[in-house]
Structure 1
């Protein structure tokens, strides 16, 4: 599906309002793409979190779709707002974007959103992604983030979906050797930890 600029469909304001707005030293998308907002003692943590929570509650479905139809910065931001607000109506859309993996960086937002939704349907999407992309050791996309999200869901749901990927000689071992060669430091424990930190960040600032 070709990218569609928000202004072409009457939503030209959404980039400045949600994507490039500054709740800190840098635009929001840049903070979301980094992990600085998860670090203890960050100076802008409260303001950043409150604004994200407020926007996640008030952004309309049409505005979210305008962002999801554009480039990676908009998609990453939209995925985070969807995840924080647990907008489960976007599950199928998020799953489709993750499986297609058309652009860089936004996949981490899709994995976060699915982890936040926290259902068996989300685990199935993550499994489908890993089935498709773990065999592709030549493609370093969001395999490690998807596994981290799946591990969190397994714990929450009492399931064992990740076992078939992480068992001895499984697809994860083969892909991880490739990832380690590229210095991703993508151990299962680390990826589960990052997913937990992201979800706890969202939980900690949820509206009453």
Structure 2
């Protein structure tokens, strides 16, 4: 998928409007906004929620076509408002894994959408990228999101990845400094995704 500056599609304002203001993309990265003081956090969340409803399809499309900061922000915007019409686009971007950090946002959005279709996207991603032991992309966020969806949907998609000596453990153990942390990493990934989703309600 090619990267296209929003100016090329007549949406040159979107980075300043949705991404850079309030240092938004930095606060979204890793759910950093959750660690702000109460007043600042509430203001940040209120602004994000308003924009998640107001951003036009053309603006969202321009953000998804640009670099990682824009894609991360776009994913949060559609995830907060549960704009499920963007599911297919997010699935394609996640599976392509072109840009660092943006995948966190894709996994958040899929967790927020909350359907079997979203779980299947995450399963496809993990089936593709966990066997590639050298690829350290968004496997943790994807597994955490899938675990959360399993809890919501009453499904057990994550079980086969988490089995002893399964794909997840082998991927984690491929690096000496993470060896032996598969269970803790999976649990912390689930907790992170849950924490990102919880403020926005059911």
TM-score range for the pair, normalised by the shorter chain length:
over 0.9
RMSD (Å), alpha carbons: 1.7
- 1:104 pairs with one of 89, 93, 100: 100
Question: 1:153-192 counterparts in 2 under 5 A?
Answer: 153-178=149-174, 181=177, 187-192=185-190
- TM-score norm. by structure 1 comes to 0.91
Partner SS state of residue 187, structure 1: helix
Structure richer in helix, relative to its length: 2
User: 1:141: how far off?
Assistant: 0.1
Q: How many residues align?
A: 199
- TM-score norm. by structure 2 comes to 0.94
1:96-153 deviation line (CA, Å, top 9, x unaligned): 0000000000000000000000000000000000000000110100001000000000
1:35-73 deviation line (CA, Å, top 9, x unaligned): 321237455101000000000011011110000000000
Unaligned runs of 5+ in 1: none
Alpha-carbon distance between aligned partners in 1 of 2:8 and 2:171, rounded to the nearest angstrom: 40
Alpha-carbon distance between aligned partners in 2 of 1:95 and 1:113, rounded to the nearest angstrom: 10
User: 1:177: how far off?
Assistant: 1.4
Residue aligning to 1:7: 7
